[in-house]
Structure 1
């Protein structure tokens, strides 16, 4: 049997380097299962590696896509036939911009029936990253202040909702006012439009001169670097993304500040954590989604896998909501 797969053999603009091919579907081996993908969101973290921002992390040729939801259509030896037809998130295996993804049964997360496909497809990258940063890395508690840039992004909105759940203060940084009202509704205590306000002065005002305990940088470049001046001594910046494509000069901007910088890469956490912890975190996040306390991004547009170029263009055009690649 043949299946479609999106690949790239060199780094560059997605429109130039991504190509659709066919591959032979090899039956799952011991402990493995094969998942027929239904829906995959397009995240910045899917596109940034294509452009070559992380060449040391990406082995070519590569398949984009880190998350999505699908149906188990085949199981290997040692996997119960009861898994057939189950809706799952196939993690820690092959990437998702293809028809069929193989992974180990222990690396799949079964999706409850009351979580729809659109939400399920987004349950991994942004929610788990934000959840772990707040609860495990920073251990934020009531009264702490967290600054997040790219506040209007999908992960920025997740941080806002988690702040309401845990009671810490979330200051969201944006470059326009499109998402201000929604960010307040989701849980942010303040929203700063950095094109109109001086960041350091505004943070000092909002924290009564005390500065913030921590910040999350999704952008990189000077946007990330300026977060350092907004933190207390021994404060922490968590670097999670490079929307700008520019790596901040952390060693220079933190010199003499006592501010710490930590890089958070979800793949590293997944590789290190125990099976018990893995399942516990997903259970906690999915229970919040089921209860309506954590809401994924609305869907702005959907495209077939064959129209991946148009889908990426839409995702990067500023369209409201997530763009999904279907079937």
Structure 2
């Protein structure tokens, strides 16, 4: 008798509440080099939602199962995969979408988790922490006294950038639309917080940097708000786009011509393609160690919903997780 499981799937792009379907499917056996993982928990991130809307339709094929990260227990392994994996708690990454009960993923990329990393922390160890860490250390190569601007900084990834500023030593100017996150951002590492509802962005940045502008900027919003970041940079500074919360892409060529800065998109998938398996595991090991040492803290769970209640989960504005058990 074949194994069956529940999954979330979409056959067309659109509003996630309208296009996501709950389906029972036959679970395929793991193939050569693959693990079959029974999922326990997966977060709902903007990076999971935006592809469903069609913003990245040029590289997303439908039908598709959403979800880029999560945590689960190894149920089985394909031919030549060691039985040692069975029963291990892992991050099953770069395989199938994680919004389903069973996921197959490459065994060589599975991240084995220590017992003291709770599921809700483990489930969010990939997209935001790896993106922020790689950008700071490998792409921008930030040094002490460099100044980084980050908009939408009250977000989960914004808070990671704030903590990394303290770990690495660069200065972070957090940009928000209100004062809701000001105190906590300053407490975890941000040097300054700019509430753009109270003061114009460029005026505030130039005042804080004594007219020099920032070294680099991270944009999660796109559109006019992302464009404004470029005008706050030093000549030859770097603007990196990591999200599209507004749904409006940046005009990178125009930005570079008008501001004498570099503007580009950071794609985690490109980093994935260019690194070795050894470097992949070493990067996760560094992040896991920082979490165990309590120098890096990820979002606490605010609410969780069973997988079949995904439509209810999508109405929540807080950090939400899907549970499969």
TM-score range (shorter-chain normalised) is over 0.9
User: What is the 5 A alignment of 1:2-41?
Assistant: 2-41=4-43
Cα distance in 1, alignment partners of residues 236 and 55 from structure 2:
29
Aligned to 1:296: 298
**Stretches of structure 2 lacking an aligned partner (at least 5 in a row):** none
Instruction: Give, in angstroms, the shift of residue 15 of structure 1.
Output: 1.1
Asked if 1 retains the 8 angstrom alpha-carbon contact of 2:12 and 2:19, the reply is yes
Aligned to 1:272: 274
Q: Does 1:238 align with 2:240?
A: yes
Cα distance in 1, alignment partners of residues 80 and 151 from structure 2:
46
Aligned to 2:284: 282
Aligned to 1:188: 190
Tell me the alpha carbon deviations over residues 140-190 of structure 1, each in whole angstroms, 9 at most, x when there is no partner: 010000000000000000000000001100000001111111100110000
Aligned to 2:320: 323
Secondary structure at 2:259's aligned position in 1?
coil
Instruction: Give, in angstroms, the shift of residue 257 of structure 1.
Output: 2.3
Match of 2:175 among 173, 176, 183: 173
Match of 2:93 among 87, 91, 97: 91
**Stretches of structure 1 lacking an aligned partner (at least 5 in a row):** none
User: What is the 5 A alignment of 1:68-147?
Assistant: 68-147=70-149
Q: TM-score, normalised by structure 2?
A: 0.98
Instruction: Give, in angstroms, the shift of residue 126 of structure 1.
Output: 0.3
Cα distance in 1, alignment partners of residues 66 and 31 from structure 2:
23
Secondary structure at 2:163's aligned position in 1?
helix
Aligned length: 322
Instruction: Give, in angstroms, the shift of residue 272 of structure 1.
Output: 1.9
Tell me the alpha carbon deviations over residues 205-254 of structure 1, each in whole angstroms, 9 at most, x when there is no partner: 10011111000001101110000110001100011000111101222232
Cα distance in 2, alignment partners of residues 107 and 275 from structure 1:
7
Q: TM-score, normalised by structure 1?
A: 0.97
Aligned to 1:260: 262
CA RMSD of aligned residues (A): 0.8
Tell me the alpha carbon deviations over residues 245-283 of structure 1, each in whole angstroms, 9 at most, x when there is no partner: 110122223214220012111112112211111111111
Cα distance in 2, alignment partners of residues 301 and 281 from structure 1:
29
Q: Which runs of 4+ in 1 moved over 2 A?
A: none
Q: Does 1:224 align with 2:226?
A: yes
Cα distance in 2, alignment partners of residues 237 and 257 from structure 1:
11
Secondary structure at 2:302's aligned position in 1?
strand
Cα distance in 2, alignment partners of residues 66 and 155 from structure 1:
15
Cα distance in 2, alignment partners of residues 32 and 49 from structure 1:
25
Cα distance in 1, alignment partners of residues 4 and 40 from structure 2:
17
Asked if 1 retains the 8 angstrom alpha-carbon contact of 2:255 and 2:261, the reply is no
Cα distance in 1, alignment partners of residues 264 and 276 from structure 2:
22
Tell me the alpha carbon deviations over residues 97-143 of structure 1, each in whole angstroms, 9 at most, x when there is no partner: 00000011012111111111110001000000000000000000100
Instruction: Give, in angstroms, the shift of residue 23 of structure 1.
Output: 1.2
Cα distance in 2, alignment partners of residues 204 and 176 from structure 1:
20
Cα distance in 1, alignment partners of residues 66 and 112 from structure 2:
22
Secondary structure at 1:227's aligned position in 2?
helix
